[in-house]
Amino acid sequence: MQPASGRGWDESAASAIAAELDRHRIALADVLEKLAREPSDLAAAANLIVATLAGGGTIWLAGNGGSAAEAQHFAAELIGRFKLDRAPFAALALTTDTSVLTAVANDYCYDDVFARQVEAVGRRGDAFVALSTSGESENLVRAAQVAHRRGMTVVALTGRRPNRLSDLADVAVAVPAADTALIQEVHMTVTHLLCGIVERSAAPAA
């Protein structure tokens, strides 16, 4: 496919793209290596999710923007399947009901769009998984606070510490990076790792 100007990609453009890919590969590998050196938070998050599902609880997920998409991706893998055929897990993203989101944002404020849903549907024994590259999204912080009041556990997937969401969480997987796009990509990797562990550990007979 040619650019709008009608000119094809020249060798200098291809070289620039190759160089950018190489820089990105190095940055991504560096972050993943740091996470691999300290896997305890990932293991704790997986154990918490497995225990929640085994106890009959539901995994509620939320995020903003790209993190909203990742929350929905996470829920889809749990309800559908990741790699194994098995019965579905109880998981729902709080980012998908546009009527609820717009009603709460309009009648109250956007900072309450997730907290009010958690207050409505969250139960003791459930888990709230909050995804935020900054760890400072007010609507997720409020939802985590409500989750604790409801007797739920909280898992946070964030960027590097310190941040309020990690401090509130029972378990926090804090990606040691500052670049938003890079953190989002690592969150997808974390999602797949967690789904794989949960599926192998908690899957009932299909």
Of 119, 114, 130, 125, the C-alpha closest to 169 is 130
- Is pTM, for the whole model, over 0.85? yes
Instruction: Answer whether residue 205 shows pLDDT above 70.
Output: no
User: For the domain 39-202, what is the CATH code?
Assistant: 3.40.50.10490
Residue 146's pLDDT is 98
pLDDT over 70, % of the chain: 94
Per-residue pLDDT of 137-184, as tens digits, reads 999 999 999 999 999 999 999 999 999 999 999 999 999 999 999 999
Give 174: exposed, middle or buried? Use CB within 10 Å, 0-12, 13-18, 19+. Answer: buried
Residue with structure tokens 């497995």?
A: 50
CB of 119 within 8 A of CB of 95? no
For residue 11, the model assigns a pLDDT of 75
Residue 134's pLDDT is 97
Q: Would you give the distance in Å from CA 14 to the centre of its chain?
A: 33
Tens of pLDDT, residues 94-104: 999 999 999 99
pLDDT tens by residue, 12-42? 888 899 999 999 999 999 999 999 999 999 9
- In the chain, what are the domain boundaries? 39-202
